[in-house]
Protein backbone atom coordinates (compact mmCIF):
# COMPACT_ATOMS: atom_id res chain seq x y z
CA UNK A 1 0.00 0.00 0.00
CA UNK A 2 2.94 2.30 0.62
CA UNK A 3 3.88 2.04 -3.05
CA UNK A 4 0.47 3.36 -4.13
CA UNK A 5 0.85 6.34 -1.79
CA UNK A 6 4.33 7.11 -3.16
CA UNK A 7 3.04 6.83 -6.73
CA UNK A 8 0.17 9.25 -6.03
CA UNK A 9 2.56 11.70 -4.39
CA UNK A 10 4.93 11.54 -7.39
CA UNK A 11 2.04 12.13 -9.81
CA UNK A 12 0.91 15.19 -7.85
CA UNK A 13 4.43 16.62 -7.89
CA UNK A 14 4.87 15.97 -11.58
CA UNK A 15 1.39 16.63 -12.95
CA UNK A 16 -0.21 18.88 -10.36
CA UNK A 17 -2.78 18.32 -7.63
CA UNK A 18 -5.94 16.47 -8.54
CA UNK A 19 -4.29 14.60 -11.41
CA UNK A 20 -6.13 11.40 -12.20
CA UNK A 21 -4.17 8.95 -14.32
CA UNK A 22 -7.43 7.37 -15.47
CA UNK A 23 -8.68 10.55 -17.13
CA UNK A 24 -8.42 10.58 -20.87
CA UNK A 25 -5.74 12.96 -22.06
CA UNK A 26 -5.80 14.40 -25.57
CA UNK A 27 -3.70 12.44 -28.00
CA UNK A 28 -0.69 14.03 -29.66
CA UNK A 29 -2.48 14.01 -33.02
CA UNK A 30 -5.26 16.24 -31.70
CA UNK A 31 -2.85 18.74 -30.15
CA UNK A 32 -0.77 19.26 -33.29
CA UNK A 33 -1.09 22.48 -35.16
CA UNK A 34 -0.58 22.49 -38.88
CA UNK A 35 1.61 25.24 -40.19
CA UNK A 36 2.11 26.44 -43.69
CA UNK A 37 5.04 24.65 -45.34
CA UNK A 38 8.14 26.64 -46.15
CA UNK A 39 8.03 28.16 -49.62
CA UNK A 40 9.94 26.47 -52.40
CA UNK A 41 10.67 28.98 -55.12
CA UNK A 42 11.40 28.29 -58.76
CA UNK A 43 11.61 30.36 -61.91
CA UNK A 44 8.80 30.05 -64.46
CA UNK A 45 10.70 27.67 -66.78
CA UNK A 46 11.70 25.48 -63.80
CA UNK A 47 8.13 25.51 -62.47
CA UNK A 48 6.75 24.64 -65.90
CA UNK A 49 9.07 21.67 -66.08
CA UNK A 50 8.13 20.69 -62.51
CA UNK A 51 4.40 20.51 -63.26
CA UNK A 52 4.87 19.36 -66.87
CA UNK A 53 3.15 22.39 -68.25
CA UNK A 54 4.11 25.34 -70.41
CA UNK A 55 5.43 28.67 -69.22
CA UNK A 56 2.48 30.36 -70.90
CA UNK A 57 -0.08 28.33 -68.93
CA UNK A 58 1.64 29.36 -65.69
CA UNK A 59 1.53 32.99 -66.85
CA UNK A 60 -2.23 32.57 -67.44
CA UNK A 61 -2.69 31.21 -63.90
CA UNK A 62 -0.83 34.25 -62.59
CA UNK A 63 -3.05 36.59 -64.65
CA UNK A 64 -6.18 34.80 -63.34
CA UNK A 65 -4.95 35.31 -59.78
CA UNK A 66 -4.69 31.58 -59.08
CA UNK A 67 -0.92 31.73 -58.68
CA UNK A 68 1.21 34.37 -56.95
CA UNK A 69 4.30 35.67 -58.69
CA UNK A 70 7.29 37.16 -56.96
CA UNK A 71 10.05 39.25 -58.48
CA UNK A 72 13.66 38.47 -57.72
CA UNK A 73 15.47 41.22 -59.57
CA UNK A 74 14.57 40.60 -63.20
CA UNK A 75 13.40 37.03 -62.58
CA UNK A 76 9.80 36.01 -62.00
CA UNK A 77 9.55 33.21 -59.45
CA UNK A 78 6.63 31.19 -58.08
CA UNK A 79 6.09 29.03 -55.02
CA UNK A 80 6.02 25.32 -55.90
CA UNK A 81 3.74 24.65 -52.89
CA UNK A 82 1.11 26.88 -54.53
CA UNK A 83 1.47 24.90 -57.76
CA UNK A 84 1.01 21.65 -55.81
CA UNK A 85 -2.18 22.94 -54.20
CA UNK A 86 -3.41 24.26 -57.55
CA UNK A 87 -2.84 20.83 -59.13
CA UNK A 88 -4.65 19.14 -56.22
CA UNK A 89 -7.61 21.43 -56.78
CA UNK A 90 -7.41 23.21 -53.45
CA UNK A 91 -8.66 26.78 -53.33
CA UNK A 92 -6.62 29.70 -52.00
Domain extent, residue 76, equals: 41-88
83 occurs within a structural domain: yes
45 occurs within a structural domain: yes
Total structural domains in the chain?
1
What integer pLDDT is reported at residue 70 of this predicted model? 93
58 occurs within a structural domain: yes
29 occurs within a structural domain: no
| Whole-number Å distance between alpha carbons of 55 and 90 | 21
With a cut of 70, list the residues of the chain below it in pLDDT: 1-34, 91-92
78 occurs within a structural domain: yes
What integer pLDDT is reported at residue 56 of this predicted model? 96
What integer pLDDT is reported at residue 28 of this predicted model? 55
- Cβ atoms of 63 and 57 within 8 Å: the answer is no
Amino acid sequence: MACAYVLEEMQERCCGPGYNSHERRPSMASTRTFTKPHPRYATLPEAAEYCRSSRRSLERRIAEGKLTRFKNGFRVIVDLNEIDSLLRGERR
